[in-house]
Copies of this chain bind each other. A is one copy, B any other.
């Protein structure tokens, strides 16, 4: 069966402020030393599996220019601009409808645009295995990540112990982000995986489930899909998409549907969730520092410094994050990186849109 990829690239990525902005969120930033942006990496690593003609990107209309610039090899008609953000269920549903219209049916690799994968070969193998499972009748397949610590920022997948066949496990249920005690119990139980947000299914399968569990969305998608490939598409999309219910694919489908499968991945997944990720995904020096740019360090340890055009001198620092951009500078204790949104809230309150 034809294999396609759908990359979800509508996220705002506020946690990487001040490098990420409303006009240039995380997926369009280079956070690794090779200079490639997150979305460029996402497309590139699919090369052995899906050709660029079969890769679709669903994004916010504001990011069209960035996408064309960063992914010049992707057919422009494969970039679908949502007129308004409606969370992941309408995003996935729209892509599935278009793919069904275009190919009859096809495997869809539904993937975030801003994660990192260390072992790309194993990743591709895992996606191939998932595609085969979906072709052979598994309704909905997800990639799970074996937890290594009690993370409270991810959703979890409870799989059915003992159900594994060739590495594909039945899913008992999807669970939302737990509190720390619950996360600890999941870790101890060994029956839970992190929900990576990567899904593999046939377009027909996900549409079947959308019709069953989100009929309003299903009906709303029909006129848009019908107009795909005609001159009226942009106008119909603009008119109808705003009316779709805003819902996540996890809550709308995965927490309700039956016959879900998961494949535990061991391909070195990192969701690059905050500035703290940079010391994981880049090389640190002997003092545990991750430096990018012209940094002069005296007696400083475990600091992440992303310099800009200026020299940054750090003295006697420990566990700090410093990010320098032409119009805004962030200096943050590592324990506070989750509070960057408070800075953004304050700037928004003061009407300082130019910094958001």
Binding site for B on A (CB under 8 A): 18, 296, 298-299, 310-318, 320, 322, 324-333, 335-337, 339-340, 342-343, 346-347, 352, 355
Compute how far the CA of A331 lies from the CA of B340 in the bound complex, rounded to whole angstroms: 19
Min CB distance, A200 to chain B, in Å?
38
Min CB distance, A186 to chain B, in Å?
28
Q: Are A315 and B329 CB-contacts (below 8 A) given A296-B346, A346-B298, A347-B296?
A: no
Compute how far the CA of A153 lies from the CA of B53 in the bound complex, rounded to whole angstroms: 70
Number of copies of this chain that the complex holds: 2
Q: Look across to chain B and name the residue whose beta carbon is closest to the beta carbon of A342.
A: B298
Could you say which residues of chain B place their CB within 8 Å of the CB of A336? Answer: 298-299, 315-316
Could you say which residues of chain B place their CB within 8 Å of the CB of A324? Answer: 329
Is there contact, CB below 8 Å, between A339 and B316?
A: yes
Q: Are A312 and B333 CB-contacts (below 8 A) given A339-B299, A343-B298?
A: no
Could you say which residues of chain B place their CB within 8 Å of the CB of A342? Answer: 298-299, 315
Min CB distance, A270 to chain B, in Å?
23
Known: A312-B329, A315-B337, A316-B336. 7 other contacts (CB 8 A): A18-B313, A310-B326, A310-B327, A311-B328, A313-B332, A314-B331, A320-B331
Compute how far the CA of A333 lies from the CA of B330 in the bound complex, rounded to whole angstroms: 16
